[in-house]
Amino acid sequence: MNGQSGDLFRARGVFRPQVHIAYERDILEFTADDGITTGYRWAGARPHVTAADNPADDGGIGAAAWVAVYEAGLEGALAASSGVSLVGGAKPVWRVADSERWLADPTAALQSVLDSAAAKGGVVLIPAGTYSFTESGGNIDLPPNVRITGDGVGVTNLVWKGDGHLFRYWRNSATWSGAVGTSHSITDLSINGGDNANSIAVEVSDTYGFKLRNVSLYGFTAGDGLVLHTRNFWVEGTTLENVSISNCKRHIVFKRQPGTANMGSYGYTTFRNVALNVRDGQIGMLVGVDVYNNALHEIYNAILEMNIWTTGNSIGVGFGQNGIIRDSSGTFRCETPPEGAPFTGSFIKVDYPETSGMTNFDGPVRTSHLSNAENWTNTWRDLRYQKLRDIGEPKPGVQNYAQWFRVCRIGTDKSLFSGRVRMTADYGKASYCSASAEFAFGVRGHDAGGFKPTFTVDGDGFNGTGDGFAKFSVYADASGKYWLYFRRPKYTNYCVFEYTYDLYPQGTYEYWEKTASPESDATLTKVWDSLSYPAQSSYIGDEVVFSGQRAIASANGGNIDFQVAHLLGVVPEWYTATALSADANSVGISSVTADASSITITFKSATPAGTGNIKFAVEWGRKQFNNRFRPS
246 or 10, higher pLDDT: 246
With bands split at pLDDT 50, 70 and 90, how would you rate the model's confidence at 201? very high
Cβ atoms of residues 506 and 414 within 8 Å:
yes
Work out the average pLDDT over 481-504. Answer: 81
Beta strand ranges found along 59-159 (DSSP E): 66-73, 93-95, 122-125, 129-132, 140-141, 146-149, 156-159
Helix (H) or strand (E) holding 119: helix 106-120
For 453, what's the count of Cα atoms within 13 Å in the CB-facing half-sphere?
27
pLDDT at 101: 85
Radius of gyration of the chain (CA): 36
Max Cα distance, the chain (Å) = 129
Least confident of 232-246, 384-398, 413-427: 384-398
pLDDT at 366: 74
203 or 267, higher pLDDT: 203
> What are the angstrom distances between the C-alpha of 618 and each of 361, 564, 592?
43, 8, 10
pLDDT tens digits for 543-592? 344 456 777 888 999 999 999 887 777 788 778 888 889 999 999 999 99
Q: First and final CA of the chain: distance in angstroms?
A: 89
**Which of 57-71, 433-447, 448-462, 616-630 ranks highest by mean pLDDT?**
57-71
- 523-293-248 Cα angle (round to 5): 100
115 φ/ψ sector (left φ>0, alpha ψ -120 to 50, else beta):
alpha
542 or 606, higher pLDDT: 606
pLDDT tens digits for 141-199? 888 778 899 999 999 999 999 999 999 987 665 544 444 555 689 999 999 999 999 99
- Please report, for the chain, the start and end positions of each structural domain, with discontinuous segments joined by +: 10-72, 385-533, 537-625
CA-closest candidate to residue 248, choices 289, 215, 275, 278: 278
CATH architecture of 10-72: Ribbon (2.10)
Least confident of 377-381, 487-491, 615-619: 377-381
pLDDT at 489: 86
pLDDT at 631: 34
**Non-local CB neighbours of 426 within 8 Å, separated by 6+ positions:** 398, 491, 492, 493
* DSSP classification of residue 370: G
Cβ atoms of residues 462 and 433 within 8 Å:
no
Residue 133 pLDDT exceeds 70: yes
pLDDT at 453: 81
Cβ atoms of residues 91 and 119 within 8 Å:
no
* DSSP classification of residue 143: P
The overall average pLDDT reported for the chain is 78
**Which of 105-109, 206-210, 232-236, 531-535 ranks highest by mean pLDDT?**
105-109
pLDDT at 137: 94
DSSP secondary structure string for all residues of 159-171: E--SSEEEEEEE-
Least confident of 317-321, 362-366, 460-464: 362-366
Dist CA 314 CA 308 (whole Å): 11
**Which of 170-179, 386-395, 495-504, 608-617 ranks highest by mean pLDDT?**
608-617
Helical segments of 84-158, H only = 106-120
401: burial class by Cβ within 10 Å (0-12, 13-18, 19+)?
Answer: exposed
Least confident of 242-246, 574-578, 599-603, 619-623: 619-623
Dist CA 419 CA 417 (whole Å): 7
**Which of 266-270, 414-418, 546-550, 582-586 ranks highest by mean pLDDT?**
582-586
Cβ atoms of residues 202 and 186 within 8 Å:
yes
